């Protein structure tokens, strides 16, 4: 049986006389299918997964899943995995990371944040976007012969990539040609405006829209426009391949492209191939032994080279027979680009040294630069013959995955990815549910993160911001906002009052404001008199009196207060009503009467902070509840105006420590403000306080954005169980430095780090360290 070997792709145009004819594309078909010379190719983009941050067991599962992707391809069909480091122009980068000046008196703060973010950007390869593609190749007489096969392959790839947590998307014709345009015309991405149907009507070739101004190929490098490039090929492989070599090489912050070409053999052919090689080795061993005997060596030894080769072939044969391995013809090629030839030579040495670190030898493709470049590019073609037979397990060691990245247009920069050092930019508005939690032990950086988010919202949007501050941690930040901010300090004997019975206005269709307020009053009374004193009779009386009071007020257009409820309870016949009124005296005519009078504070400011530290521990929980109700009213009013509201609730664990009824109300508030177009942020130091409550657990699980800083052991275990966090990922929230932790955005979980320059006005306003607060005032 003839050994299988991948044939080279045939050139589309012989002796090309133009740049366009140097591009091996004969015709483009619907669905992103390109026709070459008897070959048809389809290409798709796939996303990264958190491979390096996963536990050993999870990595094994991901590795096995990727191996299944390689084995799922049809026998003798060529496919290519391509990683692309694409340059991002400075204008596009600045658009993503810099806050725009508005000439409103706050531009100095925008400039401070911009300087911090630009410094963060230099830590990674943020001027580089890495994209991952898989290209499938088949032969056929016409496009119609291949269309159904490509559709089947697309479905298989969707399934297999999804199984390991990656998303696969097939590229259409315009998107696929954009990949080549962005390479040939780096820095001109915004000029790409291909309209396939219009181009054909005008009689234009599609390659006219992607071709560079010129290409020049030398013995060991090439030039495209003003850029220099060099193609390399992996020549020598070690006996053991590590799974991080590819990601290590592609972490070089240069315009690069690396492809792994693969063609798998049938199991029977693979066994036959290995058996032939094994037979050849045994023959050579026999010949060596015979020569030794002829030289009177009665005990000839097998040369170590042949013994190791025989052992390796026997192991491969066992892998194929018992572990469903395949033989895959594999070729690794790459090219990199630079502005000068000196820079190109330096980068080549760096890439070679990275390969040597993994016992791999990369060599320059001498006198084959054009063929190598067209092999690396995701055309799906091969113009080199430098294959190596590997098992599918060894081939999977060329792992293209490293870590997830979060880079949302228009989002907030929360720090840098702890693995890749790239910026972490998240936009909650892109999520189905914008509610969030910030969790961490005291001193871990959670309050600083909340303040940083508040500042970004204030400086980059026109949204309203409301803060519930139980520990008076935001005065310095509020001074930044000047006239745009208002702090409402609630305390015993204070002249500032909030009416606990203010009725919800502008509520969502289907919501009954009286029923919502009755539920609130029941929760408030339970906190006021204690859960043990709140039986069915008491609940009935409170609901009856509250409903009667509010319906009358709604009909007459009057305002009612807790004092009115107190008077109505005293007039009821039931002795339980008299007891309820007596319990309510402290909050109506006693020292904690700040919520029993009509609202007299200005709550129209864009940034509103409710400071309730001076209320004392006994009434703090009750105050938080009443303030949440007032916030709910403001959110509903803003929704009618078409304005978004951000609600920051600090020390949220206090509410869940009160009672299940309070937790239930908070959960309802959390859901309701989201429905009214607000984004809620809970800041808490005790995750277990949340998770002991069914409502807290529900709120946390249904929030799609989560910042986790350093956690206590019991909190860490509880979060791991709820959010399915691996042991390796938990290491990022155990004994970590301030400002570091894990971010969960929808189904993406990444480790992040966040630092902020201390030599800024904003840092002095955001820090919560005691010595710095005293120093900065």
Give residue 452's region: left, alpha or beta (phi > 0; psi -120 to 50). alpha
Tens of pLDDT, residue by residue over 4-42, are 445 678 777 666 667 888 889 988 999 999 999 889 999
What's the rounded Cα separation, in Å, for the pair 376 and 259?
5
137-171 residue pLDDT tens: 998 888 988 999 999 999 999 999 999 999 999 99
Q: What is the pLDDT of residues 49-89, one digit of tens each?
A: 988 888 888 888 899 899 889 888 877 788 999 999 987 76
Q: What is the dihedral of CA 447, 451, 452, 454, to 10 degrees?
A: 140
Give the bridge partners for 648, in sequence order. 467, 681
Indicate the pLDDT class of residue 433, thresholds 50, 70 and 90.
Answer: confident
Average pLDDT over residues 182-196: 83
pLDDT band for position 124 (cuts 50, 70, 90): low
Q: Whole-angstrom Cα distance, residue 145 to residue 585?
A: 85
Strand pairing class (645-649; 678-684): parallel
Q: What pLDDT was estimated at residue 372?
A: 95
- pLDDT tens for 595-607 read 888 888 778 889 9
Average per-residue pLDDT for the chain: 85
Confidence category of residue 270, pLDDT binned at 50, 70, 90:
low
Q: How many CB atoms lie within 10 A of CB 734?
A: 13
DSSP-based three-state secondary structure for 329? strand
Out of 73-82, 447-456, 480-489, least confident range: 73-82
Question: Does residue 702 surpass a pLDDT of 80?
Answer: yes
Give every CB contact of residue 651 below 8 A, 6+ residues apart in sequence. Answer: 470, 471, 683, 684, 685
pLDDT higher than threshold 50 for residue 757: yes
Is the pLDDT assigned to residue 3 strictly greater than 50? no
Higher-pLDDT residue of 336 and 713 is: 336
DSSP 1-15: -PPP-PPPPPPSSSS
Q: For residues 689-701, give the mean pLDDT.
A: 83
pLDDT of res. 2: 38
- The structure's pTM equals 0.81
Q: DSSP class of residue 209?
A: G
CA distance 748 to 743: 8
Of 422, 409, 415, the C-alpha closest to 116 is 415
Give the tokens for residue 450.
Answer: 């909340």
pLDDT reported for residue 1: 30
Per-residue pLDDT of 737-753, as tens digits, reads: 999 999 999 888 999 99
Q: What kind and span of H or E run contains 78?
A: strand 78-87
Do 138 and 39 contact (CB within 8 A), yes or no? Answer: yes
Give the lowest-confidence range in 287-296, 473-482, 582-591, 676-685. 287-296
**HSE-up of 514 (CA within 13 Å, CB side)?**
14
Q: At a CB cut-off of 8 Å and minimum separation 6, what does 128 contact? A: 85, 86, 87, 88, 253, 254, 255
- Cβ-Cβ contacts under 8 Å for 307 (sequence gap 6 or more): none
- How large is the average pLDDT for residues 368-383? 94
CA-to-CA dists, residue 730 to 634, 644, 710, 752, 754, angstroms:
38, 34, 10, 12, 18
Q: Which of 375, 585, 608, 579 is nearest to 490 (CA)?
A: 608
CA–CA dist 677, 636 (Å, integer): 8
Helix ranges, 500-602 (H): 513-529, 536-556, 562-570, 575-588
pLDDT value of position 460:
94
Q: What is the Rg, in whole angstroms, of the alpha carbon atoms belonging to the chain?
A: 34
């Amino acid at each position: 049986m003839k050994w299988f070997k991948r044939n080279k792709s045939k050139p589309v145009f012989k002796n090309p006389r133009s740049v366009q004819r140097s591009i091996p594309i004969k015709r483009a078909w619907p669905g992103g299918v390109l026709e070459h010379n008897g070959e048809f190719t389809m290409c798709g983009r796939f996303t990264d997964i958190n491979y390096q941050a996963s536990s050993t067991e999870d990595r094994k599962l991901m590795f096995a899943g990727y191996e299944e992707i390689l084995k799922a391809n049809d026998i003798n069909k060529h496919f290519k995995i391509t990683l692309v480091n694409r340059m991002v122009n400075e204008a596009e980068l600045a658009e993503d990371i810099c806050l725009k000046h508005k000439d409103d008196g706050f531009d100095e703060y925008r400039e401070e944040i911009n300087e911090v973010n630009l410094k963060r950007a230099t830590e990674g390869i943020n001027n580089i976007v890495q994209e991952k593609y898989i290209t499938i190749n088949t032969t056929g007489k016409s496009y119609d012969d291949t269309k159904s096969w490509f559709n089947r392959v697309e479905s298989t790839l969707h399934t297999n990539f999804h199984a390991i947590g990656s998303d696969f998307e097939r590229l259409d014709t315009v998107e696929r040609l954009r990949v080549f345009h962005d390479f040939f015309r780096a820095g001109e991405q915004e000029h790409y405006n291909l309209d396939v149907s219009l181009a054909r009507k005008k009689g234009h070739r599609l390659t006219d829209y992607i071709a560079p101004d010129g290409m020049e190929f030398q013995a060991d490098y090439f030039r495209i426009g003003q850029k220099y490039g060099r193609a390399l090929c992996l020549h020598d492989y070690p006996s053991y391949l590590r799974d991080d070599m590819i990601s290590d090489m592609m972490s070089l912050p240069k315009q690069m492209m690396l492809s792994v070409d693969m063609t798998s053999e049938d199991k029977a052919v693979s066994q036959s191939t290995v058996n032939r090689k094994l037979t050849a080795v045994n023959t050579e061993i026999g010949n060596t032994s015979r020569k030794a005997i002829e030289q009177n060596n009665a005990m000839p030894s097998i040369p170590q080279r042949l013994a190791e080769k025989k052992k390796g072939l026997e192991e491969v044969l066992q892998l194929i027979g018992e572990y469903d391995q395949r033989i895959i013809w594999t070729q690794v090629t790459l090219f990199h680009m630079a502005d000068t030839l000196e820079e190109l030579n330096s980068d080549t040495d760096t890439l070679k040294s990275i390969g040597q670190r993994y016992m791999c030898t990369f060599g320059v493709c001498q006198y084959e630069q054009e063929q190598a470049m067209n092999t690396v590019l995701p055309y799906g073609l091969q113009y080199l013959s430098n294959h190596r037979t590997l098992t599918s397990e060894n081939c999977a060691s060329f792992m293209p995955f490293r870590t997830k990245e979060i880079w949302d247009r228009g989002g907030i920069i929360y720090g840098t990815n702890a693995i890749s050092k790239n910026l972490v930019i998240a936009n909650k508005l892109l999520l189905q549910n914008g509610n969030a939690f910030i969790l961490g032990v005291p001193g871990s950086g959670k309050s600083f993160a909340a303040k940083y988010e508040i500042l970004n919202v204030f400086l980059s949007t026109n949204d309203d911001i409301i803060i519930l501050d139980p520990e008076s941690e935001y005065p310095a930040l509020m001074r930044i906002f000047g006239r745009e901010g208002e702090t409402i300090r609630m305390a015993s004997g204070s002249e500032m009052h909030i009416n606990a019975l203010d009725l919800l206005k502008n509520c969502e269709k289907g919501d009954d404001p009286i029923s919502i307020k009755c539920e609130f009053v029941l929760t408030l009374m339970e906190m006021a008199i204690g859960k043990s004193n709140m039986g069915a009779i008491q609940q009935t009386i409170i609901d009856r009196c509250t409903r009667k009071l509010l319906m009358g007020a709604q009909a007459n257009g009057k305002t009612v207060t807790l004092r009115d409820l107190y008077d109505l309870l005293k007039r009821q016949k039931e002795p339980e009503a008299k007891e309820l009124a007596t319990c309510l005296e402290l909050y109506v005519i006693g020292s904690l009467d700040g919520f029993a009078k009509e609202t007299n504070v200005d709550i129209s400011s864009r940034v509103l902070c409710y400071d309730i530290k001076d209320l004392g521990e006994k009434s703090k929980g009750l105050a938080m509840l009443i303030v949440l109700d007032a916030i709910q009213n403001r959110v509903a009013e803003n929704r009618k105006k078409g304005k978004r509201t951000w609600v920051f609730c600090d020390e949220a664990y206090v509410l869940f420590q009160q009672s299940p009824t309070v937790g239930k109300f908070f959960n309802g508030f959390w859901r309701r403000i989201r429905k009214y177009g607000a984004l809620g942020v809970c800041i808490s130091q005790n995750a277990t306080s949340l998770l002991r409550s069914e409502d807290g657990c529900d709120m946390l699980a249904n929030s799609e954005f989560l910042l986790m800083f350093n956690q206590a052991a019991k909190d860490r275990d509880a979060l791991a169980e709820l959010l399915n966090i691996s042991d390796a990922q938990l290491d990022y929230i155990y004994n970590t430095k301030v400002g570091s932790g894990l971010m969960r955005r929808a189904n993406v979980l990444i480790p992040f780090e966040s630092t902020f320059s201390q030599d800024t006005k904003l840092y002095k306003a955001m820090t919560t360290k005691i010595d710095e607060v005293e120093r900065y005032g």
